Amino acid sequence: MELRNDILLRALQRQSVDRTPVWIMRQAGRYLPEYLATRAEAGSFMNLCQTPELACEVTLQPLRRFDLDAAIIFSDILTIPDAMGLNLYFVSGEGPKFEHPLRSAGDIKNLPRPDIGESLGYVMDAVSLTRRELGGKVPLIGFSGSPWTLATYMIEGGSSKTFSRAKKLLYQDPELAHQLLGKLADTVTDYLNAQIEAGAQAVQIFDTWGGALSSQAYKEFSLRYMTQIVSGLKRENEGRPVPVILFSKSCSTQLEALADTGCDALGVDWTTDLATARKYVEDKVALQGNLDPATLRESPEVIRQGVADTLASYGTGPGHVFNLGHGITPDIDPEHLGVLVDAVHELSPQYHL
Amino acid sequence: MELRNDILLRALQRQSVDRTPVWIMRQAGRYLPEYLATRAEAGSFMNLCQTPELACEVTLQPLRRFDLDAAIIFSDILTIPDAMGLNLYFVSGEGPKFEHPLRSAGDIKNLPRPDIGESLGYVMDAVSLTRRELGGKVPLIGFSGSPWTLATYMIEGGSSKTFSRAKKLLYQDPELAHQLLGKLADTVTDYLNAQIEAGAQAVQIFDTWGGALSSQAYKEFSLRYMTQIVSGLKRENEGRPVPVILFSKSCSTQLEALADTGCDALGVDWTTDLATARKYVEDKVALQGNLDPATLRESPEVIRQGVADTLASYGTGPGHVFNLGHGITPDIDPEHLGVLVDAVHELSPQYHL
C-alpha cells in the first residue's frame, strides 16, 4: 500500500516539504470522548492495550477528527517491564504500579530477556492491523520507553517524585545498574525492531525522566543506552528509511549530545525555544515540538498565536515536525486541538517556500 | 564588625579566592534534629518565621555543625503574599496554602503594595539580630521568591503541578498578569532592599517555577521582572558591594539571558554540568551549584566523588560557589552534609592556584 502522505517521514529526515507536519503526543487519549467509550468497553486499561482491535480503534480515533500527519500506535511504555514479569496494573488516580518491583540484586540478575513475539505479540498485532486500516493515509509511529525511564518505574514500583531508589542503585552499585540498563536496551531494541517489522514507519523513544539525572549521570545511564538502541535498530523497511526520534524531557542542555547519537530527530519540551534548540543541534537532526500543552486550554486566538510563535521560532527550512512539548492532557476540549492542527496547516507553508 | 570570611562575596563577584566557598540551599531545615526541636518549640512554622530570636537560632544552627561560608536567613518565600493579605497557612503534608487566593481581576487590582517595615518587620528584625549574632564569622544572605513564582502560589492558592490557573491568567489576560507581576516586582525590590539595609550582605531570588513556562512566556513573565528587581536593588551597603544571585530552576537554556540581567551570579540546577553552564554565560557571572541533592543519600565515597566531579566540571579560575542543585531534603543524615563540606574544603584549593 503506497503511503499517500509522507511529509512526517520527509521532515524527520530534513527533506523539503510543502508545510510542517503535525502530530500530537497522546493524541489517542482521554481528552476524546470516543476514547473514553472504547476504554470503558475494554474494561481495563491493560485489556485496551492487549486487544489489537481496540488498540487499533483508539489509534485511529484522532485521525477521524483532525488532519494529522501521523498515527502513533496506542500502547503504554510499561509493556516491557510487564513482559519481563513485573506485572503491571493500574490503580485509579494513582498511576501505574508493579506487582513485583525490582527489590534486590537477585531480581535484576534474574530478569529475563523476554521473547518479544511471544510476550508482546499483542503490540505487533495492533501495529499490523493499524497499518492495514490506515491504508496508506499517514505513517504509523511505534514507540518505547528509554531504558532509564523504564528502570525508574521498575525500581520504584511505580511513579516517583524523587527517584530515590533508582538513583540509589546508580550511585551505590553502578555495575548492577548497567546490568539492568543493558538488559533493557537489548529488549527495547528487539521491541522496536519487531514494531518496525510489523509495520511501524518511524519510532520514538520516550525518556520521560532523563531530567531527574545530573548531566554526568544522564550521559552514563540514559544517553549511552539510547545511543546503543539507535545503533541496533533496523533503519530501513519496505525500501524506505525508518526515522528514529529521541525525546528526553527536561534535558534541553543535552540536545547537542543527543544529536550525536545517530538519531534522525529530537523531541524538544516547551522550556526551550526552537531557535535555541536548532542552534544547539546545528541542523544535524530534525526537531519535534514544542508548544506548551497548557496553551490548549486557551481561546482559539491564543492557540493560533502559540502555533505562529512556535513555527516562527523554528524558522525557515526543513526539519521541523509540529507537536506539543509534552502530551495533551485529559482536560482539553477536542475542538481546541482542531484549532491547533488547522493553524499548522494554514500558517506553516510560508516557512517552506 | 569586620567580616572575617568573605570568600562567598568575593567568589560571587568573580574575584580570586583560596578555595571554593560553600553553602547549601535549605541548610537550616528539617534534616537537622535541632531545627525540629526549635520548630516544635515555636508551635507553628509561621511562628518560627515571625519570631526573630527563633528564626535567628535556626539560621545559626547549621553553622555550628559545618564549616559553611554563609548563613541564609531562615524565612519562607511566601511571606510577601502573606503580607499582601492572602494569609498563609500550612497543612501538614500538603504544603503551603492561602486563605484568600487571587480569584478575580478585582483581587489583583485591589492587592496592596505592603509597607515592608510594618508587615514584614519581623524578617528585618531577624536579619539584624542574626548579623549581630554572627559577629562577622560569615556573610548573611537575604532572599525572596521571584514575582512569577510568588504569583503561581497566589493564583493557585498553594502548590500546583500544572499551574493551569496561573498560566490561564498569562494567556487570557496578559495585561492583568503584568499588573500583578509589576506589583510583586515592586514589593520584592522593597523587601530585598529592606533586608540589605537590615544587614543582608548578598541576596538570592528563587524562581522555583520558571521551568513551568515556555521560553517566550518565561522571558515575558518571569525574566523581565527579575531584571527589573535587579536594577532596583541597593547594590552596595556598609561600603561593600551586595551581590545578587538569581536561581531559576529547570531553566538552564535561559542561563545566557539570565546572565544579561545585571545580576552577579546564577544558581544552576543539577541537570546541566557547570562546564556547559559556564560556556553559556561566557564567564559574565559567577555560577552557584550544582550537586544532585540525591547524592547526599549515598556513602561518603560517593559524596566525595560527586564534590570532586562538580568542582572539576566548573574547572579553574574564580566565580564558583559550591551548592546543591536544589535544596537539601529532610531525609538526609546531617553527617553526610559534613562529608560534602569537608570535601569542598579539601578538594577545591587546586582550582584556585
The 10s digit of each residue's pLDDT in A11-28 is 999 999 999 999 999 999
Name the pLDDT band for A1 (thresholds 50, 70, 90): confident
Task: Return the CATH number at B24.
Answer: 3.20.20.210
Asked whether residue B273 is assigned to any structural domain, the reply reads yes
DSSP strands (E only) in A208-256: 236-237, 240-241, 244-248
Q: Tell me the per-residue pLDDT of B108-138, one tens digit each, with 9 for 90 and over.
A: 999 999 999 999 999 999 999 999 999 999 9
Asked whether residue A28 is assigned to any structural domain, the reply reads yes
Across the interface, which of B217, B251, B298 has its CB nearest the CB of A171?
B298
Share of chain B above pLDDT 90, in %: 97
Q: CA angle, A258 as apex, B206 and A9 as ends, to 5°? A: 120
Q: Tell me the per-residue pLDDT of A56-90, one tens digit each, with 9 for 90 and over.
A: 999 999 999 999 999 999 999 999 999 999 999 99
Q: Tell me the per-residue pLDDT of B220-246, one tens digit each, with 9 for 90 and over.
A: 999 999 999 999 999 999 999 999 999
Q: Is B211 in Cβ contact with A271 (below 8 Å)?
A: yes
Asked whether residue B330 is assigned to any structural domain, the reply reads no
Asked whether residue B33 is assigned to any structural domain, the reply reads yes
Asked whether residue B344 is assigned to any structural domain, the reply reads no
Q: Does the pLDDT of residue B1 top 80, yes or no?
A: no
Q: How far is CA B180 from CA B148, B206, B207, in A?
A: 9, 18, 16
Asked whether residue B17 is assigned to any structural domain, the reply reads yes
**Residues of B identified as active-site:** 26, 30, 39, 76, 153
- Which of A32-36, A93-97, A152-156 is least confident? A93-97
Mean pLDDT of A269-287: 96
> The whole model's pTM is what?
0.95
Q: How far is CA A69 from CA A6, A136, A141, A303, B40, in A?
A: 8, 11, 11, 19, 60
**What total of structural domains would you count in chain B?**
1
In chain A, residues 307-346 whose CB comes closer than 8 Å to chain B: 309, 313, 325, 329, 331
Name the pLDDT band for A333 (thresholds 50, 70, 90): very high
**Residues of A identified as active-site:** 26, 30, 39, 76, 153
Is residue B88 within 8 A of residue B78, CB to CB? The reply is yes
Is residue A76 within 8 A of residue A153, CB to CB? The reply is no
Asked whether residue A1 is assigned to any structural domain, the reply reads no
In this structure, the number of other CB atoms found within 10 A of the CB of residue A316 comes to: 11
Across the interface, which of A162, A215, A253 has its CB nearest the CB of B294?
A162
Range of the domain at A177: 7-352
All three cell numbers of A268: 524538544
Across the interface, which of A172, A271, A273 has its CB nearest the CB of B250?
A271
Q: What is residue B153's predicted lDDT score, i.e. its pLDDT?
A: 97
Q: Which residues of A touch B273 (CB under 8 A)?
A: 214-216
Q: Give which of B156, B165, B215 to mutate to test A binding, by max A Cβ within 10 Å.
A: B215
Name the pLDDT band for B93 (thresholds 50, 70, 90): confident
Asked whether residue A2 is assigned to any structural domain, the reply reads no
